[in-house]
């Protein structure tokens, strides 16, 4: 079933929504005993997120005719993971898997209430280390399955390949916070506050970008609490982020539209017929194909989520636009875009459906 184009414009806020969830697993307040910090990890996250912006509503499949302000209640389990079966990896990727129940209430349109939606939110973040602190690849997947029907489901997958490998610095995000009395508060940009509670759990409150009257209010957009446990052995999963290069393609007259919001962040110059596109395997009909040479004359830094990712201590928040090609393809229900370098090697990929 074809979806309206606006369903695909959700991914910016979808990343933010996911970053908000990852806040509780990524922000570590200063502790008096390093041994205690090393012996514990996040067990589960619970709390609420008020979808105070249009794109936040779209992130969970709510259409344009619904009013902003729906409230999502979350109860999510966190597991450390190791991924097996990556065909082009030197070492097994490791990371986090966050999955659990989400209930969305207060869904309204001009005619009144529309009831509620329940679903399962699954977030997977993986990175491959070539050696200690050097990351070669990263994968970031967001999967939302609503009980109300597949038309509300959303899926976004990012792949980033670092060549040369990227150095991951410890505590690199400390400068993004003001620390006082056991609390950490973001210095600039969207407001974010994290503090340790009496029982050792961490409470994170914050705002979506452009959210009105949120900062330091009695009802912030985000109010999540994470609870720790003793470190367990990582859960083993199958690596499911495989990409296939799509060959023998010709440009179409129509321009792909499923991922055009992200394309607008890049400086494009002339169109090219040299298509370097990767996607997952599917049998959908091809709707549109286009490629453009990237313009690096302004040394453009592509970093739509830099502040949030830095605040939360997560890597791969930005990269400098390099010479290469942006290629994009629309299938009937899927959009794929790839950036390849001058040697036609993949360095960035996104899949949305």
Q: pLDDT tens-digit profile of 227-236? A: 888 888 899 9
Residue 147 CB partners (closer than 8 Å, separation 6+): 117, 118, 119
Does one domain contain both 134 and 164? yes
Our count of domains for the chain comes to 2
Residue with tokens 């690849």: 137
Query: Both tokens of residue 349?
Result: 């990929």
3-state secondary structure of 128: strand
Query: Structure pTM?
Result: 0.80
Does one domain contain both 205 and 256? no
- The distance in angstroms from the start CA to the end CA of the chain is 11
Query: Both tokens of residue 169?
Result: 């610095």
Does one domain contain both 196 and 263? no
- Of 238, 254, 286, the last residue of a domain is 238
Query: Both tokens of residue 1?
Result: 């079933």
- Of 238, 272, 300, the last residue of a domain is 238
Does one domain contain both 123 and 256? no
How far does CA 317 lie from the centroid of its chain?
A: 10
Does one domain contain both 168 and 153? yes
Q: Is 332 exposed, middle or buried (0-12, 13-18, 19+ CB in 10 A)?
A: middle
Residue 274 pLDDT: 93
Please give the torsion angle defined by the CA atoms of residues 258, 138, 283 and 1, in that order, rounded to the nearest 10 degrees.
-40
Does one domain contain both 221 and 313? no
Determine how many CB atoms are found less than 10 A away from the CB of residue 7.
Answer: 21
Residue 302 pLDDT: 54
Residue 338 CB partners (closer than 8 Å, separation 6+): 276, 277, 278, 326, 327, 328, 346, 348, 349
Average pLDDT score, the chain: 76
Does one domain contain both 251 and 347? yes
Does one domain contain both 214 and 271? no
> What single string gives the DSSP state of each residue in 203-263?
EEEE--TT-TT-TT-SS-SEEEEEEEEEPPPPEEEE-----EEE-S----SSPP-TTHHHH
**DSSP summary character for residue 53:** S
3-state secondary structure of 8: helix
Q: Please state, for a pLDDT cut of 70, what percent of the chain lies above it.
A: 69
Does one domain contain both 199 and 285? no
Does one domain contain both 263 and 336? yes
Residue 264: give the domain boundaries: 244-352
Parts of the chain with a pLDDT under 70: 1-38, 55-64, 110-114, 148-152, 169-177, 186-189, 209-210, 212, 215-217, 260-261, 297-321
Residue with tokens 């549109």: 288
Q: pLDDT tens-digit profile of 273-306? A: 999 999 998 888 999 999 999 877 665 555 444 4
Closest by Cα among 132, 134, 192 to 162: 134
Closest by Cα among 179, 176, 174, 202 to 190: 176
Query: Both tokens of residue 306?
Result: 């830099």
**8 Å CB contact between 220 and 206:** yes
Residue with tokens 């990269």: 319
Does one domain contain both 258 and 187? no
Determine how many CB atoms are found less than 10 A away from the CB of residue 2.
Answer: 8
3-state secondary structure of 27: coil
Residue 35 pLDDT: 39
Residue 276 pLDDT: 94
Q: Is 67 exposed, middle or buried (0-12, 13-18, 19+ CB in 10 A)?
A: middle
- Of 188, 206, 238, the last residue of a domain is 238
Does one domain contain both 228 and 253? no
Residue 27 pLDDT: 46
């Amino acid at each position: 079933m074809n979806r309206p184009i606006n369903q695909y414009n959700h991914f910016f806020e979808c990343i933010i929504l996911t970053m908000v969830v990852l806040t509780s697993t990524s922000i570590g307040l200063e502790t008096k005993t390093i041994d205690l910090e090393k012996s514990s990890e996040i067990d589960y996250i619970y709390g609420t997120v008020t979808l105070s912006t249009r794109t936040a509503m779209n992130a969970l499949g709510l259409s344009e005719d619904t009013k902003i302000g729906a409230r999502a209640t979350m109860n999510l389990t966190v597991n450390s993971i190791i991924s097996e079966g990556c065909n082009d990896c030197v070492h097994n990727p490791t990371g986090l898997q966050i999955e659990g129940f989400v209930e969305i209430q207060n869904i309204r349109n001009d005619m009144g209430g529309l009831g509620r939606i329940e679903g399962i939110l699954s977030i997977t973040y993986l990175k491959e280390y070539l050696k200690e602190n050097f990351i070669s690849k990263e994968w970031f997947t967001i999967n939302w399955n609503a009980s109300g029907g597949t038309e509300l489901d959303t899926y976004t997958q990012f792949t980033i390949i670092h060549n040369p490998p990227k150095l991951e610095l410890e505590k690199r995000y400390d400068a993004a916070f003001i620390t006082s009395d056991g609390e950490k508060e973001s210095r600039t940009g969207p407001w974010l506050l994290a503090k340790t509670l009496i029982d050792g759990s961490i409470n994170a409150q914050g705002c979506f970008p452009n959210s009105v009257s949120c900062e330091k209010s009695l009802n912030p957009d985000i109010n999540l609490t994470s609870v720790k446990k003793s470190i367990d052995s990582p859960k083993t999963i199958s690596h499911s982020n495989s990409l296939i290069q799509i060959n023998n393609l010709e440009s179409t007259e129509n321009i792909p539209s499923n991922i055009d919001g992200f394309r607008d962040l890049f400086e494009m110059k002339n169109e090219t017929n040299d298509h370097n596109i990767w996607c997952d395997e599917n049998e959908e009909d091809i709707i549109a194909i286009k490629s453009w040479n990237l313009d690096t004359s302004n040394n453009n830094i592509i970093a739509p989520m830099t502040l949030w990712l830095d605040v939360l201590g997560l890597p791969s928040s930005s990269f400098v636009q390099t010479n290469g090609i942006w290629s994009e393809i629309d299938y009937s229900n899927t959009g794929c875009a790839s950036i390849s370098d001058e040697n036609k090697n993949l360095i960035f990929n996104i899949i949305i459906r």
